[in-house]
Amino acid sequence: AVKGTDPSIAEECGTDIKTAAERGLKLLVMLSFVFPAHFLHEDVLNRLTTLLELDDDSVAPHILAALTFLGKYRPLSEACPALFPKLITLCKAYAEVGTPKQAKNAVRCLFVNVPTQRGAIFTEILETLKATLTPHSEHYRTAIVTLGHIAHNLPDNFPVHIKNIVSRKIVKELLVREGGGGPNAPTGQWCSEEELPEETRCKLEGLKCMARWLLGLKKDELSAQKTFRMLNAFIVHKGDLLQQNQLSSAEMAHLRLAAGAAMLKICEQKGVGDQFTAEQFYNLSHLMIDEVPEVREAFAAKLHKGLSKGIPNKCLPLDFMGMYALAGREPERRIR
């Protein structure tokens, strides 16, 4: 069904072949998580790797996620050495010129499956990012995602190098740069992320990249303080950091939501999360009563997720439960 050559499975399930393929991929990911040992056979791994070569952009993220779960059970460099050079080549290609989702899963897949070659492989990928981590590159957004996940997974391998890239390429050349708006900007107060201008979508990924970088560092208090100040400014200025009045309402809504989500993510980590001030906490809480319903709903969902994960060591501090008090003012019954 995934290859699109056998519609009989879809017909048997009473659905179209695209839906059947998507469900099959999700099932593969779940099975690789629950029964990883059953996948560690050369013929099975060969079939999975072959699926990575399909043109459909939606296939690779699922297969890479499955291979990541297998690698957590046993690195594929040990389980199937003959296959691994091909997998490295495919993952590097996805991390460098794939879609953002492909890049994210490719970095994770490489990280768990090449414990002895991480330094060399990710050094090569970082060298490639020098060319693509620029607004003029068609792979700019992918490069931002790749950088964030490398920084998160390998904080001790390239600390100075990545800090310099984040400071120069993400903060100075992306987040505090004029841009956005224009004739292609959405007109309403909210839209789907796909409808946003590409530059604004890159800024959203830049905010996530900074959060991942800090989560990897864990204890860099000075960087955490600077990052919190910038994220706080996004929220205080309603998403328009430079106050140029060039951004549409929908772009501003997405940017302040992304800044708030990044703050929540960082606060889950002791050390960097402890640099969060009372004033910043107060400003962040305003997203619970934001003028845009979609922002309120998405932020509340992020808050709930952060409070409920990995109790007691990996979740948000219990102070954040206080934000739910503002939900009493929620005008929409469904969200309340």
Is 60 exceeded by the pLDDT of residue 1? no
Tell me which DSSP letter residue 133 carries. S
Span 68-109, pLDDT tens digits: 999 999 999 898 888 888 999 999 999 999 999 999 999 999
Segment 181-206 shows an average pLDDT of: 89
230 vs 175: CA distance, rounded Å: 9
Q: Token digits for 306?
A: 């952060």
> Three-state SS string across 237-291, please?
CCCCCCCCCCCCHHHHHHHHHHHHHHHHHHHCCCCCHHHCCHHHHHHHHHHHHCC
pLDDT digits (tens, 9 = 90+) for 216-255: 988 888 999 999 999 999 999 999 998 888 899 999 999 9
pLDDT at 84: 85
Question: What's the confidence (pLDDT) of residue 312?
Answer: 63
pTM, full prediction = 0.92
Mean pLDDT of 294-318: 88
Higher-confidence position of 80 and 311: 80
Give the count of beta carbons closer than 10 Å to the beta carbon of residue 274.
12
The residue among 52 and 10 whose pLDDT is bigger is 52
Residue 61 has pLDDT above 70, yes or no: yes
Instruction: Judge whether residue 270 has pLDDT over 90.
Output: no
Taking only Cα atoms into account, the Rg of the chain, rounded to an integer number of angstroms, comes to 21
| Selection from 237, 226, 310 nearest residue 269 by Cα | 310
b/e 222-245 (16+ beta carbons within 10 angstroms → b):
ebbebbbebbbbbbbebbbbeeee
What pLDDT is stored for residue 282 in this prediction?
A: 96
Give the pLDDT of residue 219: 84
Packing angle, helices 221-236 and 249-267, rounded to 10? 150
Which band of pLDDT confidence, cut at 50, 70 and 90, is reported for residue 112? Answer: very high
pLDDT tier, 128 (very low <50, low <70, confident <90, very high otherwise): very high
Q: What is the reported pLDDT for 181?
A: 67
Spacing of C-alpha 251 from chain mean position: 18
The percent of residues in the chain predicted with pLDDT above 90, rounded, is 71
* Cα 78 versus chain centre, distance: 28
